[in-house]
Amino acid sequence: MTSFFSNIWLLAKKELADSFSSSLLYVLTGFFSLLMGWLFFNYLVLSSEMTAGTLLQSVFNPIFGNMNFIFLFFAPLLTMHSFALEKRQGTLGLLLLSNLSHIQIILGKFIAIVLSTIFMLSFTLILPLILSFAGYSQWALIFTGYAGIIFSICCYVSVGIFASSLTDNPVISAVISFCILMGMMLIVLSANASDNPIVGEILSYLAIPFHYEGFVRGAVKSYSLVYFVSVTGFFLWLSERSLESRNW
C-alpha cells in the first residue's frame, strides 16, 4: 500500500517541479489573483452594508461563483499538457514501461495539477483575511466555499486529464476539455427549461453549479459529495481506459 502511494507521489513530485518551473502557472496565478482582487474590490464597494450576512451574499458568493467560472477556462490550460506532451515528446512509453500502473500515472498527474491550482487559490485567502479586520467572522462558510471550489476543480482536472489522454495536441486537448466542461455547466439551462419536474431534477443533479452553489451557501449535501467524487472518478477511469487502449 505504501509503495502504491509512494509511486503516485514520485510522479506527482516530478509533475509539480515541472509546473513550478514553467511560466504558465505563474502567468495564470498572477492573472487570477489580479482578477480576484479587482472583483473583490468592486463587490466590496457595491456592498451597501458591511454586516457579516450582506458581505457573504454580496461579496463572497459572487466571488466564489466567479472563481468557479474562471477555472472552467484555466483547468483546460493547466491539464492540456498532462498526457498530450508526454505523447509528443515520446515519454509516455517510459511511464507505461515503468513499475507504475496506469492508475498510478493518472493519479500522480491529477494530484500535481490539483496542488498547482490550490497554490493559485491560496493567494485569494488574503480576501477573507482583509475582511476579518473589519469584523467578518463566518469562517465555516469560507471553508465550505473553498471546499466546494476544490471539489469542482477536481472534476475539471479529471475532465482535462481525460481530454489530454485522447490526443498528442495540447490545443485540441484544451478544446475538448473546455467543451465537456461547458456542456456540464450548461446542463443547468436545460434543467430550467424542462417542463417535466423529474427530468428537470435529474438534469440539475448532473450540472456542476447545482452542487457547487450548495457548498458556497454552506449547505453541504452528501449527494453533492457523491456527485463530485463520482464525476472525478468517472473521468479518471475513462483516462485509464484511454491509456489501456494504447496496448491494443
Partner 1 sequence: MPNSTEAIGLVGVSKAYPGINALTDINFSVSRGKVHGFLGPNGAGKSTTMNIITGLLHESAGTIRLMGQECVPSERKKLIGYLPEQPPIYPQMLVRDYLEFVAALHGQKTTNAKNSVDKAVASCGLEEVLNRMIGNLSKGYKQRVGIAQALVLGAEILILDEPTVGLDPVSVTEIRNLIQNLKGEHTVLLSSHLLHEISLVCDDITMINHGKLVATGSLKEIEQKFSGAERFTLKADQFNQEIRQKLKTSLDVDSEQKNDLWSLQTNKKIEAKKLLAFLVEHQADVVEFYQDKTQLEDVFKQAMKKEMQ
Q: Which residues bind partner 1 (CB under 8 A)?
A: 3, 10-11, 14, 18, 21, 89-91, 93-100, 246-248
CA distance 83 to 160: 10
Q: Residue holding cell 498532462?
A: 82
Cβ at position 236, least distance to partner 1 in Å: 20
Q: 60 CB contacts (<8 Å, ≥6 apart)?
A: 128, 141, 142, 145, 216
Q: CA 23 → CA 17, 26, 30, 33, 78, distances in Å?
A: 12, 5, 11, 15, 11
Comparison of 86 and 213: residue with beta carbon closer to partner 1: 86
Cβ at position 229, least distance to partner 1 in Å: 29
Cβ at position 26, least distance to partner 1 in Å: 15
CA distance 18 to 89: 14
According to DSSP, residue 221 is labeled -
Cβ at position 194, least distance to partner 1 in Å: 40
Comparison of 241 and 246: residue with beta carbon closer to partner 1: 246
DSSP 77-122: HHHTTTTHHHHHTT-HHHHHTSS--HHHHHHHHHHHHHHHHHHHHH
Comparison of 53 and 90: residue with beta carbon closer to partner 1: 90
Comparison of 105 and 142: residue with beta carbon closer to partner 1: 105
Cβ at position 74, least distance to partner 1 in Å: 22
Cβ at position 237, least distance to partner 1 in Å: 20
Q: How far apart are the first and last CA of the chain?
A: 29
Comparison of 6 and 54: residue with beta carbon closer to partner 1: 6
Is residue 204 a contact partner of residue 224, using CB atoms and an 8 Å limit?
no
Comparison of 124 and 242: residue with beta carbon closer to partner 1: 242
Comparison of 90 and 197: residue with beta carbon closer to partner 1: 90
Amino acid at 211: H
Number of other residues whose CB lies within 10 A of the CB of residue 35 = 14
Cβ at position 8, least distance to partner 1 in Å: 12
